[in-house]
Amino acid sequence: MNQPTLGNPQNTIAVLQKYNFSFQKKFGQNFLIDTHVLDKIIRSAEITKDDFVLEIGPGIGTMTQYLACAAREVVAVEIDKALIPILEDTLSSYDNVTVINEDVLKLDIVKLAQERNGGKPIKVVANLPYYITTPIIMGLFESHVPVQSITVMVQKEVADRMQVGPGTKDYGALSLAVQYYAKPYIAANVPPNCFMPRPKVGSAVIRLECHEEPPVQVEDEKLMFRIIRASFNQRRKTLANGLKNSPEISLSREGIEQAIAELGKGASVRGEALNLEEFATLSNIVGRLQQEENGTKA
């Protein structure tokens, strides 16, 4: 198996010129051209020869080459048809890589893990376009795909948002969702000059180590996330108003006020003051009160 060649900017440029490749704005393409960052990603993802790795958005195959050298097997999912012939070329000497031309949100990853990894948890590595980071990460979590860890390059502010706690300005629905499913850890900050073309913002590599069991006990996961979304939809508003204004919460005004009081919070508390455990408790209270209200109406 050959040593990776693509972390070097000259080689990246040569490949792009050979195929007359033009960057697609709609796919948010920025290719990594820094070998130190690539090494750091592989290290923080803790890839070993036992691992099956799903790579999302391989681009021209830069990180794929590094992953192929470190892992047992790599499946790289690329949405852009124009990149497929390039990947066939840049990955031709790696016999443990399969490229799939598909939108990862439509891919049956559970089936893939079953077929290629005996249903054991897989490792996901990605250098994601910023506009699609959240849908992809949440899609992996919510579909309960067997994933051990997700190591992704994301916009710096998104990485910050994933790991902060209550009371900070970046804290929100994404922080809570990520922390419910995984333990986030920022492995590296990556300046714009490590990419081609250069993005306007700084990036970060964040590793999400998936929990085997959620850190909080919640009876209805979907209800909890509806409550979380409603709490942050209008940040200036109190928690009570956020919940009352949400079409997703079917509880009377009195019921909402009672739930917040039972949680032990004052009427003026805002959603951003609650931690994950408090949201889980609130969700369990709201679920019970909804049943009581529906019971009396029936």
Per-residue model confidence as pLDDT tens digits over 195-250: 888 888 899 999 999 999 999 999 999 999 999 999 998 778 899 999 999 999 99
Q: Residue 152, class by beta-carbon neighbours within 10 Å (0-12 exposed, 13-18 middle, 19+ buried)?
A: buried
Between these two residues, 135 and 184, which has the higher pLDDT value?
Answer: 184
pLDDT of residue 24: 62
Spatial separation of the C-alpha atoms in residues 84 and 125, rounded to whole Å? 19
Determine the average pLDDT of the residues in 35-46: 93
Between these two residues, 128 and 248, which has the higher pLDDT value?
Answer: 248
Q: Comparing C-alpha atoms, which of 151, 156, 191 is closest to residue 36? A: 191
Of all residues in the chain, what percent carry a pLDDT higher than 70? 96
Determine the average pLDDT of the residues in 105-109: 92
Which residues in 119-225 belong to E strands, given as ranges? Answer: 122-127, 147-155, 182-190, 195-196, 203-210
Of all residues in the chain, what percent carry a pLDDT higher than 90? 74
Least confident among 43-57, 126-140, 240-254, 268-282: 126-140
Q: Are 47 and 123 in contact (CB under 8 A)?
A: yes
**Mean pLDDT, the chain, integer:** 91
Determine the average pLDDT of the residues in 255-263: 97
Determine the average pLDDT of the residues in 174-185: 96
Is cis: bond before 215, omega within 30 of 0?
no
pLDDT digits (tens, 9 = 90+) for 130-170: 778 888 998 899 888 899 999 999 999 999 999 999 988 89
pLDDT-based confidence at 20, cuts 50/70/90? Answer: confident
